[in-house]
Amino acid sequence: MNRALEPAIAAMEDCGLMFDALVRAHQLPVLADFARRHPSLQIVINHAAKPDIMAGEIEKWSADLAILSAMPNICCKLSGLVTEASAHWTIEDIAPYISHVLTSFGPDRVIWGSDWPVMLLHADYAGWMQAAEQLLAQLDARERAGIFGLNAARVYRINQGRNISSEAI
């Protein structure tokens, strides 16, 4: 990352802002270096770093993702996976990737996302949601509720915004 951006990143840390990292699998080592320099910055890895599911590439991606998962300030978003698989993907195609994210980050640091409308290239919303629910069915109700919304509310501090009265508007 460009060192000239360091003051902006420091300001994000000071303000308690979230850094959403839209990276590809080959960029995970760079993200790990960035995260080591900014251990108090909350980071969400979008789309699980877009592993090359179509080509079956998993080993390097899984090793690099595991390194990042050891950092407690990092979460991972389960989204954008179906667009990295073939147009005729199956649950079996994406299962090992979701399993690795869950094993690495644990259910409290995983956030589900639809990646709509991009996901429409390879699935409809209902199909991706159904696949995700099936792949996460082994989790208990609290863990599933976390992944499907409560973790996002906590991580992005959705319920901690300022209340503004209608008179102030």
Place of tokens 């690099």: 64
pLDDT band at 1 (very low <50, low <70, confident <90, very high): low
> Token pair of 16, please?
């308690």
User: Are 83 and 128 a contacting pair, CB within 8 Å?
Assistant: no
> What's the DSSP call for residue 162?
P
Give the Cα separation of 163 and 169 in Å (integer). 11
Q: Is residue 3 over pLDDT 60?
A: yes
> Token pair of 69, please?
């998962």
Give the Cα separation of 99 and 83 in Å (integer). 18
Max CA pair span of the chain: 56
Give the pLDDT confidence of 11-69 residue by residue, as tens digits: 999 988 999 999 999 999 999 999 999 999 999 999 999 999 999 999 999 999 999 99
Give the pLDDT confidence of 70-80 residue by residue, as tens digits: 999 999 999 98
> Token pair of 48, please?
């699980």
Residue 161 confidence (pLDDT):
54
Residue 28 confidence (pLDDT):
98
Whole-prediction pTM: 0.89
Residue 86 CB neighbours (<10 A) = 12
